[in-house]
Amino acid sequence: MKHRNQMTRIVCAALLAILPGTVLAKGDPATGKEKSAVCQACHGLDGKSIAPNYPNLAGQHESYLVKALADYRAGRRTNPIMAPMAANLSDQDIEDLAAWYAGQDGLKDLSIK
Amino acid sequence: MRNLIISAALLAMSGLALPTQSAHAGDVAAGKVKAYTCTGCHGIPGYNNVYPTYKVPKIGGQNYEYLTAALKAYRNGERHHSTMELQATSLTDEDIEDISAYFASLGNDN
């Protein structure tokens, strides 16, 4: 019985180890650009927003964009505009959109000066 | 009649010009000092948030109004992130405006 528990633990650990690599299919920027038509209405042609109340997305970290869209879709992050936009996105849509915006030139990393 | 048309045109133009004006309440210099804490996470290129793991968002050159809205949403509990909610609880409206003005000023094209 003890041996079996140990095996279960090893199998679980192995599954957890491969999980981060398999959950996210790699985003395709070109496909993301095609899918971004509705986003452009507020976030601009290439992720530089048309008005200051909308965030710039150009150059944002890909993993943060994925997290933000997934949070909107799940209702963890609430916004009356973004909730319906994100509701029908697939995981692949989110990956593609994030890849597109992350690849644009825009937001800057801060540096401590 | 002509004056009326010119007046209407001027009014329309001033109305259009309003949203692009960047006049806001924040003080960039004061914001730079207040933002020192923020650089602990947002100032390290590629720094990872954990559980779930994703990169801490870039905020250099982000829009002023978006930044103030985000900080206020963290402060009043509308937006959730344990670190950010704790950071925002101690900020006054003026702090939020100054910090936002500083980060917004760092963009090349804003």
Neighbour count for residue B61 (Cβ, 10 Å): 22
ipTM: 0.74
What's the CATH number where A62 sits?
1.10.760.10
Q: Determine the residue of chain A that is closest to B45 in CA distance.
A: A109
pLDDT of residue A7 exceeding 80, the answer is: no
d(CA B15, CA B53): 44
Query: Is the bond preceding A55 in cis, omega lying within 30 degrees of 0?
Result: no
Q: Which fold has domain B26-105?
A: Cytochrome Bc1 Complex; Chain D, domain 2 (1.10.760)
Q: What would you measure as the largest C-alpha separation in chain B, in angstroms?
A: 66
Chain B nearest-CA distance from A2, in A, is 31
pLDDT digits (tens, 9 = 90+) for A11-39: 655 555 555 444 556 999 999 999 999 99
pLDDT digits (tens, 9 = 90+) for A45-91: 999 999 999 999 999 999 999 999 999 999 999 999 999 999 999 99
d(CA A113, CA B15): 39
- Kindly give the interhelix angle for A91-102 and A62-74, rounded to the nearest 10 degrees: 140
Cβ contact, residue pair A107, B62, below 8 Å: yes
Which positions in chain A touch B55 (Cβ < 8 Å)? 61-64
